[in-house]
Amino acid sequence: MSSSQLHPADIEFSAIEVGRDLLLVIGGGVRHIGAASTAYMEEGNVKVSTSAVPHHKEHTVSESIAMRVAAALDRTVTVVMGIHYDNLSKEGIARVVEIVNLKVDQYLFGQNLKR
């Protein structure tokens, strides 16, 4: 998929409850697994562990999202992310990150309403 086809609705965000923990799957364009980040609370601090597929850059986003959601919800969170668009410009990358962060914000807002 090319960057000219980037549309916010194309980036999917799904949340799966895994007991007390949470799995977030984020994909767009040509979906794949580019990185997985798990954040958890330890002695009042958020810790994170990330695994990235070589030559992929999703870990730069998945790690911060996992940490933010784990801190906000006080639970272990794993983010699996894979987004690919051909020939994506720096502006296009920034737009993808903006869309992903908006979807995370919307999810967190919905979670806070339930509490």
Residue (of 107, 40, 80) closest to 99 by Cα position: 107
pLDDT, mean of residues 54-68? 96
Structural domain spans, the chain: 12-113
The whole-chain average pLDDT of the chain stands at 92
**pLDDT interval class at 5 (50, 70, 90):** low
Q: Compute the distance between CA of residue 4 and CA of residue 81 in angstroms, rounded to an integer.
A: 21
The predicted-structure confidence for 13-27, as pLDDT tens digits, reads as follows 999 999 999 999 999
CB contact set of 23 (below 8 Å; sequence gap of 6+): 15, 16, 77, 78, 80
Q: Compute the distance between CA of residue 22 and CA of residue 15 in angstroms, rounded to an integer.
A: 7
Tell me which of 5-9, 10-14, 51-55 is least confident.
5-9
The topology (CATH level 3) of 12-113 is Ribosomal Protein S5; domain 2 (3.30.230)
**pLDDT interval class at 114 (50, 70, 90):** low
Share above pLDDT 90 across residues of the chain, in percent, rounded to a whole number: 85
